Amino acid sequence: MATPRLVEDFHHETLRDRHFAERIVFWDETLRDGEQMPGVHFTPEEKLRIAEKLGEVGIPLLNAGIPVVSDEEARAVRLLADAGLPSKILAAGRTVPRDIDAVIRSGASHIAIFVAASEVHLRYKLKMTQDEVVAASTASIAQAKAAGLHVAFVTEDTVRAPFDFVERLYQAALESGADRLVVSDTVGIMTPLTFRWYLTEFVRRLHPRDWSVHCHNDFGLAVANTLTALELGATSPHVCVNGLGERAGNASLEEVAVALESLYGVRTGLKTEKLYELSRLVEEVAGVPVAVNKSLVGYNSFSHEAGIHTHGILANTLTYEPLQPEAVGRKRQMILGKHTGRAAVIEKLKEREARPTDTQLEELVQQVKLRGEGRSKAEYGRFVEEYRRLYEQPGISDAEFWEIAQKLGIGTRTA
Ligand code: MN
């Protein structure tokens, strides 16, 4: 019989087709795109707490926010820029002079200048022509470069834009001194294969030294698409802790990082064993619970209940786990319930050095199963109800909105 192979062996054999960058610079978007998630907002102090933990994990670049949004947002960027964090601080702005000014004044060393590229965005949102977009972009890049900033040039909705325009716009950005180009799949429509085609063409036409992707999870493909880009040499993936972000979120930081380390053997330089702490902190501060079955950081990702599985795990954890829970700062959990088998019960009894007779053991296993099957689901039902009540309409309620409006004398019907 052939020796069983570890997951790493399968993947390492196909590394020939992969061209990972020498150094991957994780670009965290939790404090910007993550915060743009409906219902989520961070105070400057909360942003700092998260930024400190991101720094401990070793994330080299943090998008702190868009300073022109509000005074509070500008204060947040300033707070992070002045905190002496190990990570570089980036702030974002549109291709308008006052946005770039706000970033320059914020103390951030890096800027992301963003503009939409697709026809649907240009026509309906920006109401700008392609020529106007190119002119505004190059002027903004020049303004930021003159102030000594590291400039990432981001196009929104890149993949739905005409390719020739994307090429022209990025070429102009590079000529104006942009240090890094960012390709966005703003509405999450790429698949790994289409993105591979797209990015191969992007690299062939533009030869960027340093480039990022910004992937959304509308079809659950953000991580897969981000990994595809990294396989092709992307240097700086955009990620969010717990996959937070607009709509269905962005590529999850922990999933991209651990997939690189465990599936491809790529060293990220991150302290992955701190990822669970980071996930828990963001869960608390954002107030967005991590799904029980979320990869790596969900409660179930290293839990086992089924008899056959626990038996295998107790014999050798490789049977039913692709990596050790300690790799992300977690512990394995054995769950006792309806699906429990003998092996798990024997293991549990070791805690008190109990040695039952065969009949006792058989009876104990049956009783555990019965107890599991008979457990009331009422508490979980109440939790689901509460969860729905809180999340079906996050943000301010209808009643609150109309109260504010009426105080201002708006929308008060006087029949
Ligand atoms: Mn986004």
Residue 2 lies in a domain: no
Q: How far is the CA of 383 from the centre of ligand 1 (A)?
A: 30
Q: How far is the CA of 216 from the centre of ligand 1 (A)?
A: 7
**Residue 390 shares a structural domain with residue 355:** no
Contacts of 335 (CB under 8 A, 6+ apart): 303, 304, 305
- Report how many domains make up the chain: 3
Residue 334 lies in a domain: yes
Residue 414 lies in a domain: no
Residue 3 lies in a domain: no
The secondary structure element, H or E, covering residue 27 is strand 27-28
Residue 305: its pLDDT value, please?
83
- 218: confidence class by pLDDT, cuts 50, 70, 90: very high
Q: How far is the CA of 247 from the centre of ligand 1 (A)?
A: 9
Q: Is the pLDDT of residue 317 over 60?
A: yes
Q: How far is the CA of 287 from the centre of ligand 1 (A)?
A: 20
Q: Is the pLDDT of residue 135 over 70?
A: yes
Q: How far is the CA of 245 from the centre of ligand 1 (A)?
A: 7
Q: How far is the CA of 408 from the centre of ligand 1 (A)?
A: 34
Residue 124 lies in a domain: yes
Q: How far is the CA of 187 from the centre of ligand 1 (A)?
A: 8
Q: Is the pLDDT of residue 332 over 50?
A: yes
**Residue 160 shares a structural domain with residue 263:** yes
Report, as an integer, the average pLDDT of 289-306: 93
Which of 314, 374, 308 shows the shortest CA–CA distance to 339? 308
C-alpha to C-alpha distance for 298 and 177, rounded to whole angstroms: 42
**Residue 20 shares a structural domain with residue 134:** yes
3-state DSSP call for residue 46?
helix
Report, as an integer, the average pLDDT of 228-257: 98
Residue 3: its pLDDT value, please?
44
Residue 412 lies in a domain: no
Q: How far is the CA of 293 from the centre of ligand 1 (A)?
A: 24
Cα dihedral across residues 24, 272, 112, 394: positive or negative: positive
Which of 233, 222, 295 shows the shortest CA–CA distance to 264? 233
Among 6-10, 175-179, 247-251, the minimum mean pLDDT is found in 6-10
For residue 343, give its domain range: 303-374
Residue 382 lies in a domain: yes
Residue 268 lies in a domain: yes
Q: Is the pLDDT of residue 333 over 80?
A: yes
Residue 1: its pLDDT value, please?
39
Residue 15: its pLDDT value, please?
64
C-alpha to C-alpha distance for 104 and 265, rounded to whole angstroms: 38
**Residue 151 shares a structural domain with residue 27:** yes
**Residue 274 shares a structural domain with residue 385:** no
**Residue 224 shares a structural domain with residue 319:** no
- 9: confidence class by pLDDT, cuts 50, 70, 90: low
Q: Is the pLDDT of residue 415 over 60?
A: no
Q: How far is the CA of 246 from the centre of ligand 1 (A)?
A: 6
Q: How far is the CA of 155 from the centre of ligand 1 (A)?
A: 11
Q: How far is the CA of 124 from the centre of ligand 1 (A)?
A: 18
Q: How far is the CA of 316 from the centre of ligand 1 (A)?
A: 41
Residue pair 215/222 in contact by the 8 Å Cβ criterion: yes
- 318: confidence class by pLDDT, cuts 50, 70, 90: confident
C-alpha to C-alpha distance for 245 and 296, rounded to whole angstroms: 18
**Residue 248 shares a structural domain with residue 383:** no
Q: How far is the CA of 372 from the centre of ligand 1 (A)?
A: 43
**Residue 197 shares a structural domain with residue 311:** no
Residue 271: its pLDDT value, please?
98
**Residue 269 shares a structural domain with residue 360:** no
**Residue 273 shares a structural domain with residue 337:** no
Residue 10: its pLDDT value, please?
60
Residue 16: its pLDDT value, please?
64
- 13: confidence class by pLDDT, cuts 50, 70, 90: low
Q: How far is the CA of 133 from the centre of ligand 1 (A)?
A: 19
Residue 66: its pLDDT value, please?
97
C-alpha to C-alpha distance for 414 and 398, rounded to whole angstroms: 20
Q: How far is the CA of 218 from the centre of ligand 1 (A)?
A: 11
Q: How far is the CA of 186 from the centre of ligand 1 (A)?
A: 6
**Residue 399 shares a structural domain with residue 335:** no
**Residue 181 shares a structural domain with residue 61:** yes
Among 43-57, 128-142, 301-315, 336-350, the minimum mean pLDDT is found in 301-315
- 413: confidence class by pLDDT, cuts 50, 70, 90: low
pLDDT digits over 23-58, tens only?
A: 999 999 999 999 999 889 999 999 999 999 999 999
Residue 160: its pLDDT value, please?
95
Of the three residues 255, 286, 317, the one that is the final residue of a domain is 286
CATH number, domain containing residue 258: 3.20.20.70
Q: How far is the CA of 346 from the centre of ligand 1 (A)?
A: 50
The chain-wide mean pLDDT, for the chain, equals: 93
Q: How far is the CA of 289 from the centre of ligand 1 (A)?
A: 20
- 2: confidence class by pLDDT, cuts 50, 70, 90: very low
Residue 314: its pLDDT value, please?
83
